[in-house]
């Protein structure tokens, strides 16, 4: 799980592209654009930087993801498949991007407002993003992963929202998903500790209502069980002895 300096340099480069594409695609988000058009923009940017879209062709058993990015609207939590759906004023849209370059991965996500959104959705986005940074403060050498998980959960639930249990953060490096798992809720069986030199993706998924989710017939898209909106923020980080280096942050 602990990476060499050379490995970290490669991961850092892939994460730099992730940060850049999330900033780039933001300018295209508007009512009337389709999620497929946004996905094409993501693909073009990643390839222009010498990277490969990491999600396209990613397999879970016999199920292969068909797009370059995961684009999830409103009640869609994660893994939404881009298509003909047009964004509407008042929507929120999560864009999750993975990049592979020189054999190493980066991963990051943000949830964006489309036009003017309700105060409820504004608060949901604010709390979800805050919870990510609350967790990051504790992602340092010697701390238990559960310390991050507990902090994220407490922040979210204190504001009246809930954290998804079925999906978690993860280590990242030569593989898109590595050890350790990083839940956004306290789990007594999780005994993992952070070590300096680890690279991990921390990604709170925050629901307006129940934490329960279900999977659509496409076998990829997770939606909230009650149809209420969900927000998702993710950074890939390098664990250090103090505050982590956020590899997917724009410099």
Would you state the pLDDT for residue 125?
98
Residues 6+ away with beta carbon under 8 Å from 1: 171, 178, 179, 180, 195, 198
Would you state the pLDDT for residue 250?
86
Give the separation between CA 219 and CA 66, rounded to whole angstroms: 12
Give the separation between CA 245 and CA 84, rounded to whole angstroms: 37
Phi and psi angles of residue 155, each rounded to the nearest 5 degrees, phi first: -65, -45
The structure's pTM equals: 0.97
Give the separation between CA 54 and CA 100, rounded to whole angstroms: 5
Q: Which long-range contacts (CB under 8 A, 24 or more apart) does 124-128 make?
A: 124/92, 124/161, 124/206, 124/208, 124/229, 124/230, 124/231, 125/92, 125/231, 127/155, 127/156, 127/159, 127/161, 127/206, 127/231, 128/156, 128/161, 128/204, 128/205, 128/206, 128/231, 128/232, 128/233
- CB of 51 within 8 A of CB of 99? yes
Fold of 5-246: Creatine Amidinohydrolase (3.90.230)
Indicate the domain borders of the chain.
5-246
Residue holding tokens 């980066």?
106
Would you state the pLDDT for residue 156?
98
Average pLDDT per consecutive 10 residues, the chain (251 residues; last block may be shorter)? 97 98 98 98 98 97 96 98 98 98 98 98 98 98 98 98 98 98 94 97 98 98 98 98 96 73
């Amino acid at each position: 799980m602990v990476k060499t300096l050379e490995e970290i340099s490669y991961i850092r480069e892939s994460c730099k592209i992730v940060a850049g594409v999330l900033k780039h695609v933001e300018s295209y988000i508007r009512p009337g654009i389709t999620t497929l058009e946004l996905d094409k923009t993501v693909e073009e940017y990643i390839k222009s930087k010498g990277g490969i879209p990491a999600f396209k062709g990613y397999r879970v058993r016999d199920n292969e993801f068909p797009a370059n990015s995961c684009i999830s609207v409103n009640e869609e939590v994660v893994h939404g498949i881009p298509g003909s759906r047009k964004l509407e004023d008042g929507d929120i849209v999560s864009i999750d991007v993975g990049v592979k370059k020189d054999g190493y991965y980066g991963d990051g996500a943000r949830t964006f407002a489309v036009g003017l959104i309700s105060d409820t959705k504004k608060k949901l986005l604010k709390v979800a993003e805050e919870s990510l940074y609350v967790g990051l403060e504790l992602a340092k050498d010697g701390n238990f992963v559960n310390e991050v998980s507990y902090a994220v959960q407490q922040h979210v639930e204190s504001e009246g929202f809930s954290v998804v249990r079925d999906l978690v953060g993860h280590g990242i490096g030569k593989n898109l998903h590595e050890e350790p798992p990083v839940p956004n809720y306290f789990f007594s069986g999780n005994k993992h500790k952070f070590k300096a030199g680890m690279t991990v993706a921390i990604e709170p998924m925050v629901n307006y209502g129940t934490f329960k989710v279900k999977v659509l017939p496409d076998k990829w898209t997770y939606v909230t069980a009650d149809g209420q909106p969900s927000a998702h923020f993710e950074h890939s980080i390098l664990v250090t002895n103090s505050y982590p280096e956020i590899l997917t942050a724009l410099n």
